[in-house]
């Protein structure tokens, strides 16, 4: 058990050292951002490798009997390995999308005039595709206003007129939209038509 933990820790350290070394070699350019995302994904995979191995062992069926049709056993093993590979690929894509959504949310929350934001990311998950992992679409649901650290306590007033027109929430201004669009399109390889910004209801 200790040998497995030691090997696991060594693999994580090696991946982190390799990522740091590769980052030093690259010049400060837009390529560096993509390498950071890829290396971050590799580091996460090396950390989660024991969990993936456990999931892999659970997906595989029980060993087949020694006696039987060899062709049947080979087809069952091949089918099980394909299902395991598909499950691992789906897990990797899901982790990648969640990491991208967290990064994008942090960037948009830093824009002045944004109180809250929710992010939906769609990526290219087609196996064998040349652009696998590329961002296809980003949808931002933005709530305009001050962040929680800059917000002030407002006077509470009770509306006794039961009208539904008392929505005094600020609108998402065009200037705020332009700031968000500029930040996202400069940091990620997407076009303006791949980015949708909507107000969070």
pLDDT digit string (tens) for 117-168?
999 999 887 777 777 878 889 999 999 887 554 444 445 455 555 444 445 6
pLDDT tens digits, 40-61: 887 888 788 777 776 666 665 5
- Whether the Cβ atoms of residue 199 and residue 171 lie closer than 8 Å to each other: yes
Which whole-number Å values give the CA distances from 151 to 162, 172, 176, in the listed order?
27, 17, 18
Phi first, then psi: what are they for 79, rounded to 5°? -65, -40
User: Which residue, chain included where needed, has tokens 């991946």?
Assistant: 15
What's the angle, vertex CA 129, arms to CA 36 and CA 83, rounded to 5? 95
Per-residue pLDDT at 84: 80
The structure's pTM equals 0.49
């Amino acid at each position: 058990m200790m040998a497995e933990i030691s090997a696991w820790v060594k693999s994580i350290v090696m991946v982190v050292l390799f990522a740091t070394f590769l980052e030093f070699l690259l010049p400060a350019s837009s390529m560096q951002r993509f390498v950071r995302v890829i290396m971050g994904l590799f580091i996460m995979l090396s950390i989660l490798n024991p969990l993936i191995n456990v999931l892999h062992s659970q997906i595989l069926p029980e060993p087949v009997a020694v006696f039987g049709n060899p062709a049947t056993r080979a087809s069952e093993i091949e089918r099980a390995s394909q299902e395991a590979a598909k499950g691992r690929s789906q897990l990797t894509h899901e982790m990648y999308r969640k990491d991208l959504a967290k990064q994008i949310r942090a960037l948009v929350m830093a824009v002045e005039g944004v109180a809250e934001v929710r992010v939906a990311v769609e990526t290219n998950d087609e196996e064998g595709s040349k652009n696998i992992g590329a961002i296809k679409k980003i949808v931002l649901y933005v709530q305009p206003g001050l962040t929680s650290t800059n917000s002030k306590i407002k006077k509470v007033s009770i509306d006794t007129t039961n009208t539904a027109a008392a929505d005094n929430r600020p609108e998402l201004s065009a200037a705020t939209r332009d700031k968000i669009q500029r930040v996202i399109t400069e940091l990620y390889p997407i076009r303006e038509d791949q980015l949708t910004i909507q107000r969070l209801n």
